Structure 1
Amino acid sequence: MKYAIVESGGKQYRMEEGASLKVDRIHAETGAEVFLDKVLLVGDGEEAAAGQPYVPDAKVACEVLEHGRDKKIIVFRFWRRKDSRKKQGHRQEFTRIKVKSIQA
């Protein structure tokens, strides 16, 4: 099984052909094809090729399935003896993609 480690949105993801996963928001239309070219490592089970920092001429073709927002997390800060606190919520935007092919 061919796989790749790809950097997207400041995070690293392990991608395999046919898999779908959530990544940080990618600005592309639903149904569009996007190419992720920051490939750090490409492997096929027995051997792997690592880049310095990226593998040259390697890219992962993905299809954008949907855009959405994750569940809300609460950021609560509390300062003792100051009668002060702050409550803030955040919902991270994401893009669900499906890996079509890994080209190396």
Structure 2
Amino acid sequence: MYAIFESGGKQHKVNKGQIIRLEKINLKIGKIIESKKILMLVNNKKIYFGNPFCLNKKILMEIIKHDRYKKIIIYKFKRRKHFKKKQGHRQWFTDVKILDII
């Protein structure tokens, strides 16, 4: 059984027990959350499609940790204009464990 759901403007394919990385969720570690934005659910031979989301279906997730990705460097340069700009960015993320797909 697997599901495709939406979180943070992105779509994720998940199985029960899987650990995935989502955009930052502002809740404490250990908190159990649920997502009702399920786009598709496959259960053995039955397939449920949402329009846009499946009704009466949800995914239970537990927040494991919050952290930041490795730093990326944004470098802008225009030749012969004496223009250089260097900027770094570290994006926040949240690791969650899929407890159940209902």
- TM-score band by shorter chain is over 0.9
Q: 5+ residue gaps in structure 1? A: none
Determine the C-alpha separation between the residues in 1 that align with 2:44 and 2:69. Answer: 33
Q: What letter is aligned with 1:53?
A: P
Q: What TM-score do the two structures reach when normalised by structure 2?
A: 0.94
Determine the C-alpha separation between the residues in 1 that align with 2:26 and 2:4. Answer: 21
- Range with bigger deviation, 69-78 or 37-46: 37-46
Deviation at residue 62 of structure 1 after TM alignment: 0.3
2:99 corresponding residue in structure 1: 100
2:57 corresponding residue in structure 1: 58
Q: Does 1:13 align with 2:12?
A: yes
Q: Does 1:71 align with 2:58?
A: no
Deviation at residue 98 of structure 1 after TM alignment: 0.2
Q: Does 1:83 align with 2:82?
A: yes
Q: What TM-score do the two structures reach when normalised by structure 1?
A: 0.92
Q: What letter is aligned with 1:100?
A: L
2:33 corresponding residue in structure 1: 34
Determine the C-alpha separation between the residues in 1 that align with 2:9 and 2:80. Answer: 38
1:27-80 CA deviation, whole Å, 9 max, x = no partner? 111000000111111012433211111111211000000111111111111122
Q: What is the RMSD of the two structures over their aligned residues, measured on CA atoms?
A: 1.1
Write out the 4+ residue segments of structure 1 that deviate beyond 6 Å after TM superposition.
none
Identity %: 38
Q: 5+ residue gaps in structure 2? A: none
Task: Provide closer, same or farther for how the CA distance between residues 88 and 45 of structure 1 changes in structure 2, counting only shifts above 3 A.
Answer: farther
Determine the C-alpha separation between the residues in 1 that align with 2:85 and 2:71. Answer: 16
